[in-house]
Amino acid sequence: MSPAYEATTAWAQAADAADPLRAFRDEFLIPPHEGRDSAYFCGNSLGLQPRAVRAAVEAELDYWGELGVEGHFKGRLPWMDYHEFVRDHLAEVVGARPSEVVAMNTLGVNLHLMMVSFYRPTAARPAILMEAGAFPTDRYALESQVRFHGFDPAEALIELEADEPNGTLSMAAIERALAEHGHRVALLMLPGVQYRTGQAFDLQAITELGHRHGCMVGFDLAHAVGNLPLRLHDSGADFAIWCSYKYLNSGPGAVGGAFVHERHANTALPRFAGWWGHDKATRFQMGPEFVPTPGADGWQLSNPPILALAPLRVSLEVFHRAGMARLREKSLRLTGYLEWLVDTQLADVLDVVTPADPARRGAQLSIRVRGGRERGRALFEHLMAHGVIGDWREPDVIRISPVPLYNRYADCLAFAEAVRAWARAG
């Protein structure tokens, strides 16, 4: 049976009042619009600021001012070990063992570092299998790595074309591509959630398929981390990378993260070595030989940026209290309500691009406006002007993401009412 949704203010307010996670909204700063909260649906691009972030950053500034270099060893959270203070909660969010995750660098840097280790092309296996239309970070990085190793991207970069309506990609298409090209593929690299369509992928099924064909398998989880319950360890993926400024609410340009499966923890994989990746027990002996710390920590290059890690620590504590299972449960209901509003109230105006199967999406609906790009852009500008904040992705997609930590059913209704008002005026 479909949920008993209603497109009324009374229903939305009652649903919000009954939401067991409703108190978490008060832990975030909601951008205002004309004296009231905006309906902020852009957490898939930049998450909102947790209220506790300011105090956390100021505390580190105070330690810096009061302790100077001694802040590395003194204070409530000594800087020497600061990246370790986010490890356990980060592992919870991504479904990994603590030793398999590290917060460091940014997504693009981490992707290149992982490819040094996990893209090892040979004349017989030079290829990378990726999605067509990938986010530019991935496309640029993968092509440049192919060229760096002396191969021609025209031959060694295999791009999977979408084979489903609205530009989504089936498992069958991945299977067909590996059946044809698997013997040449060194690395299979796909997103956890496709940024434009909002399609979620089955990480374990893809990993098992890739490994059967002898490929290393990695994932870009930029739009999946903090959005979907992930089981990275159980998936068997060789590596994954992500950013932390979207669903993880860690601020613009926030510290990213990486996962390396524990089976690679003590292997002799090549890597770009850095001092902070050296074995912690002997790091300060300053020896000439690099001895990597076991686990994902061994891929670190430099000491962690404390002022940038503080917001991530705060946000991960929020996730720990909320729990990914409960957040996913609310996300299913909230995104389901948004979809229901589009289907029942706005079907003459909007088409949903994102898969209808809840198992194949997270907290994002990508929509197109009937009538083409110019009408779509006009609606997007109208929404922004009226405090309904989504984002635009070329050529013609508006992304609306009801984030369960701070979005409400009332926000979804506000979106529907704003679209209807625009359609009537047009």
DSSP for residue 43: T
d(CA 47, CA 251): 7
Domain count, the chain: 2
Mean pLDDT, rounded, for 339-366: 97
Phi–psi pair at 408, nearest 5 degrees: -125, 165
Looking at the chain, the whole-number percentage of residues with pLDDT higher than 90 is: 97
With 60 as the cut, is the pLDDT of residue 2 above it? Answer: no
Residue type, 331: S
Residues 246, 140: one domain?
A: yes
With 50 as the cut, is the pLDDT of residue 1 above it? Answer: no
Of 275, 305, 320, the residue at which a domain comes to its end is 320
Phi–psi pair at 187, nearest 5 degrees: -140, 130
Residue type, 283: R
* Strands annotated E in 161-247: 185-191, 216-220, 239-242
Closest CA to 307 of 255, 366, 381, 367: 255
pLDDT class for 346, splitting at 50, 70, 90? very high
Closest CA to 295 of 330, 331, 269: 269
d(CA 195, CA 70): 43
d(CA 336, CA 339): 5
The CATH number given to whatever domain includes residue 377 is 3.90.1150.10
- DSSP H or E segment with residue 157: strand 157-160
pLDDT tens sequence across 378-419:
999 999 999 999 999 999 999 999 999 999 999 999 999 999
Range of the domain at 31: 9-49+324-425
With 60 as the cut, is the pLDDT of residue 337 above it? Answer: yes
User: What is the structure's pLDDT at 3?
Assistant: 66
pLDDT class for 317, splitting at 50, 70, 90? very high
With 70 as the cut, is the pLDDT of residue 20 above it? Answer: yes
pLDDT tens sequence across 239-290:
999 999 999 999 999 999 999 999 998 778 999 999 999 999 999 999 999 9
Q: Note the pTM of the prediction, 2 decimals.
A: 0.96
User: What is the structure's pLDDT at 142?
Assistant: 98
Of 298, 320, 342, the residue at which a domain comes to its end is 320
d(CA 200, CA 24): 25
Phi–psi pair at 227, nearest 5 degrees: -105, -50
The CATH number given to whatever domain includes residue 100 is 3.40.640.10
* Structure-token pair, residue 414: 């506000």
User: What is the structure's pLDDT at 426?
Assistant: 75
With 50 as the cut, is the pLDDT of residue 164 above it? Answer: yes
Residues 101, 211: one domain?
A: yes
Closest CA to 87 of 71, 104, 108: 104
pLDDT tens sequence across 190-233:
999 999 999 999 999 999 999 999 999 999 999 999 999 999 99
With 60 as the cut, is the pLDDT of residue 30 above it? Answer: yes
* Structure-token pair, residue 57: 């950053």
d(CA 287, CA 78): 24
Residues 13, 149: one domain?
A: no
Residues 274, 403: one domain?
A: no
Q: Give buried/exposed letters for 268-292 (b at 16+ CB in 10 A, else e).
A: ebebebbebbbeeeebeeeeeeeeb
